Structure 1
């Protein structure tokens, strides 16, 4: 990092601000670029003592000059690498994960995949808690990796025994030297059609997690994954292919090692998540005792097939984190044995794969009604109405009104399959709004 003195951070979201804070501590010459005029950025304590001339709007002509004179770019994951601003950039382009990695002092477990990442990482966090040793959990799950480095350098926290990072394809596009001790891919199905035209593009971004690993490290991925994707398997590392294909085998394996009667999360997919978590935990050197305690204490991740309770005879599940069809299919499989399902779908359209509701065909006997909301719901209604009993209710308040009048049994499953940005700032606000409607 010594050779990088003039550093530009693009995107003043949570990861960008964390990167700026660390770079200030490292005494770097920093420029911050963000969408909108500087006055619209909001009040961020981290930016207050920066040279005000170093705060630049993304569409300001000066921004291109700044980028082209920088030694290093830190790019927020939500911003594509092919934006015009970076067209002639010669400097390395990193994500905040890579910046933190340059100063990391503890072994890292990295996990990626299309669905199940947050649940698996959160379960591993529960294991760390019960192990009773210092740890850090972050990345795409919400806490920037740079926060750990900042706190270590300021003496606020002790060195971690282990670090667990949830990693998105957007983050993995912009790593250079990042090298986890243990890395896993849970699954890969098409997602982020707004960023990737092909499944192979998306999958190649995911497999970047392995690119710097060697025989001293260890990787896990589902058996047959690379053949299914038509990609070459990663090389120069030790690995195990995980057999997810038979859920009975997964369950039997776990039951031979642990008492699962205290498990509070639903669905076959969550058994797979726990299975992967154990494989990583065991290889990392964690104790079986801590893992058992995690099984007994872990509650579902908020807004990921979260059981809100039985309300007037209806079992209500909040899966607001679902932003793709596969996540919704997984949720349906998790609750299909609990009664007829009223499924809530919709959100912001992506433009690619929006009409893939044929994925629901095999669950037709389990779905008694589809309630459609938002931009995607309005798009889907004329396409779905002849194949599924459905109704466009526009908002989650419309869902509440419908359920109060019509539902007296079965399952109400909010698993929207689309991003939240048409009606909400993010999936967390969407999930919170849904919960507040049904839980006073």
Structure 2
């Protein structure tokens, strides 16, 4: 049963009062979109009002009202048609719980934006690799002559594409579990689920709830739409039976499927109706590491579903150098190479980065303590990591993990700048200094991007 089918028709026909909770990028974009469609929008945010913000002035000019410094109780009693909640705000926040208890529908910005566009959507989610895969898909479509919008959980909110659209070009979105929890009618034409690893358990409560949020991406997809699943992870591949969409697969180990992209005899191959054709040798893939090979084959499978040619896919796979903060090469100094992998916000992401180097790693790690175990890192630490510099809330736990792995030199740092200085002293010619924190950034930084940028600045000051 379509719970909000009739209300949505009414909302679009007779726009009323809407509350946007959280004045971040997605909240501002949603407010701008809805105000432009005739809704009377109020934005509330716990933070103080910015002293200078041209965005606020522009929105106020469209009738948007603002409430900063908290969520006053009177907001609970207004006749909101629906609420748009910023993805980082948990559903367990009392203000959100109270709105939900009153029966007010609560949506994410990607859900609301999807009401106002007919452009084909290609969405990517998973625990790790989302940004790289999303960027690869968009580049493969560009190489095929398309002009996709790329955004969502990275860069520009989806609502911005809808605001400015005068095109039928595809939309390529990275989507998070936070965003997907607030969806209802969101329907991609094609969607890829990369992997599941424990993450954001402080937000979702359980690993099972986290997985269910990811699976929501496919809820409205039907036969003719294409779901791309990881054939190498049972948690993902095992969910194929729950989907109505046509299922394609990606794999770095085999080609035991009828449709998708896999690896055979050291080549990346495309499989269609069980027939295999060669795309390019693995040795020609520009991105380093097995995890990036997974990203490339996943992107190839989704890009092919979106109409990219073999040649376009091949060209990007052979030339794409990566994105910022994802195993990003920073510089070489005195024979030591420095890499920024600040996006590694959980242990498995750090494990993948560590596996990209054979030995001689001076590892900088640590950050927000979410209670996750670091035991999965032990095999990659042994023999690869010669020294470690630990910082943040998890520094003691990471020091203990490094000790158990037999890392000989372990130091603690109270700041990222100090960590870079210590790593610089520990490294010798031929070594690699790798920032791959295995933790979120929010104990010391506002985002992983800020953390990565500060790392690069510190490296360039050496």
TM superposition score normalised by structure 1:
0.90
Kindly indicate whether residue 146 of structure 2 is the aligned counterpart of residue 133 of structure 1: yes
Matches within 5 A, 1:47-126: 47-49=59-61, 54-55=66-67, 57-66=69-78, 69-86=79-96, 87=98, 88-126=101-139
The answer to whether the 8 A contact 2:341-2:353 is kept is yes
1:123/1:433 Cα in 2 relative to 1: closer, same or farther (>3 Å)? same
CA distance in 2, matches of 1:160, 1:129: 14
CA distance in 1, matches of 2:86, 2:49: 17
Q: How far 1:149 sits from its partner (Å)? A: 0.8
Corresponding residue for residue 253 of structure 1: 268
Corresponding residue for residue 165 of structure 1: 173
Which blocks of at least 5 consecutive residues in structure 1 are unaligned?
A: 153-157
Corresponding residue for residue 13 of structure 2: 2
Q: How far 1:269 sits from its partner (Å)? A: 0.8
Corresponding residue for residue 445 of structure 2: 424
Corresponding residue for residue 329 of structure 1: 351
Q: How far 1:251 sits from its partner (Å)? A: 4.6
CA RMSD, 1 decimal: 2.5
1:344/1:233 Cα in 2 relative to 1: closer, same or farther (>3 Å)? farther
Corresponding residue for residue 8 of structure 2: none
The answer to whether the 8 A contact 2:416-2:455 is kept is yes
Which stretch of structure 1 is more off in the superposition, 206-215 or 308-317? 308-317
Corresponding residue for residue 198 of structure 1: 206
CA distance in 2, matches of 1:378, 1:23: 47
The answer to whether the 8 A contact 1:111-1:165 is kept is yes
Which blocks of at least 5 consecutive residues in structure 2 are unaligned?
A: 1-11, 255-261, 270-276
List per-residue Cα deviations over 1:49-104 (Å, max 9, x = no partner): 265765354332222223xx201111111011232113223122111101110011
Q: How far 1:12 sits from its partner (Å)? A: 0.5
Matches within 5 A, 1:2-401: 2-38=13-49, 44-49=56-61, 54-55=66-67, 57-66=69-78, 69-86=79-96, 87=98, 88-152=101-165, 158-223=166-231, 225=233, 233-245=241-253, 249=264, 251-254=266-269, 256-258=278-280, 263-336=285-358, 339-350=359-370, 352-353=371-372, 355-381=373-399, 384-385=402-403, 387=405, 388-389=407-408, 390-401=410-421
The answer to whether the 8 A contact 1:56-1:63 is kept is no
CA distance in 2, matches of 1:433, 1:236: 45
Q: How far 1:259 sits from its partner (Å)? A: 5.7
The answer to whether the 8 A contact 1:135-1:163 is kept is yes
CA distance in 1, matches of 2:36, 2:103: 25
| SS at 2:159 equivalent | helix
List per-residue Cα deviations over 1:354-392 (Å, max 9, x = no partner): x42453234311111111012221454356545433211
CA distance in 2, matches of 1:251, 1:234: 32
Question: Which protein has greater RCO, CA pairs closer than 8 Å, 6+ apart?
Answer: 1
Corresponding residue for residue 155 of structure 1: none
